[in-house]
Amino acid sequence: MSHARGEYEDLKKTAPDIYDAVFALTQAAEKAGLDKHLLKLIKLRASQINGCAFCLQHHVLQSERLGLSTDKINLVAVWREAPIFSARERAALAWTEALTFLPEGVSDEVYAEARREFSETELLYLTSAVASINVWNRFGAAYRWTPPARQPVRVATSARAAGE
């Protein structure tokens, strides 16, 4: 097991200008109106590809809180084989992979698929979302940020709370 070289909070404290710039880029796609569930899917997929445990766990927990289906969270790594993803989600995931594996470039086929599902403006904002998660992944992986812990579910223990 590897040890953390730094933590997420360290970036905020030590280099707040960097944190603010990346955070602003992160928020741009959501402010532009792209679907929050779609954005979570691309953040999960990029974080899987980049091996960023912090970002992956962070976005799994956020996805659950947003109500993204557990099946989509679990199957995003194999989205091509899972029929539960819409054409729009598939185009976004293909775009994410193309931009995350950038040395392979972005094929005309992937671009055409993305343009069928997204307007020019939407695709620009989707690209900004992919870029921002890749930036966060670089920090998280380089500094081995500790993944956030799942908060325990509070269960009522009294008989009255259990309906008895």
> Cβ distance 41 to 89 under 8 Å?
yes
All residues at 6 or more sequence positions from 11 whose CB lies less than 8 Å from its CB, including other chains = 18, 19, 139, 143
Q: What is the pLDDT of residue 98?
A: 97
**Is 154 a member of any domain?**
no
**Is 163 a member of any domain?**
no
**Is 65 a member of any domain?**
yes
Per-residue confidence in pLDDT tens, the chain, 164 aa: 578 899 999 999 999 999 999 999 999 999 999 999 999 999 999 999 999 999 999 999 999 999 999 999 999 999 999 999 999 999 999 999 999 998 878 999 999 999 999 999 999 999 999 999 999 999 999 999 999 998 876 666 554 555 54
**Is 159 a member of any domain?**
no
**Is 132 a member of any domain?**
yes
Q: What is the pLDDT of residue 104?
A: 78
> Cβ distance 52 to 141 under 8 Å?
yes
**Is 127 a member of any domain?**
yes
**Is 1 a member of any domain?**
no
Residues making up the chain, counted from first to last:
164
> What is the tally of structural domains in the chain?
1
Long-range contacts, 17-24 (Cβ 8 Å, 24+):
22/132, 22/135, 22/136, 22/139
Amino acid at 26: T
Q: Got the DSSP string for 19-63?
A: HHHHHHHHHHHHHTT--HHHHHHHHHHHHHHHT-HHHHHHHHHHH
pTM across the whole model: 0.89
For 27-50, letters b (16+ CB in 10 Å) and e give ebbeeeebeeebbbbbbbbbbbbb
How many Å apart are CA 41 and CA 93, to the nearest integer? 7
Q: What is the pLDDT of residue 151?
A: 84
List the CATH number of the domain containing 54: 1.20.1290.10
**Is 38 a member of any domain?**
yes
Domain of 115, in residue numbers: 8-143
Taking the CA of residue 26 as centre, how many other CA atoms within 13 Å lie in the half-sphere pointing to its CB? 15
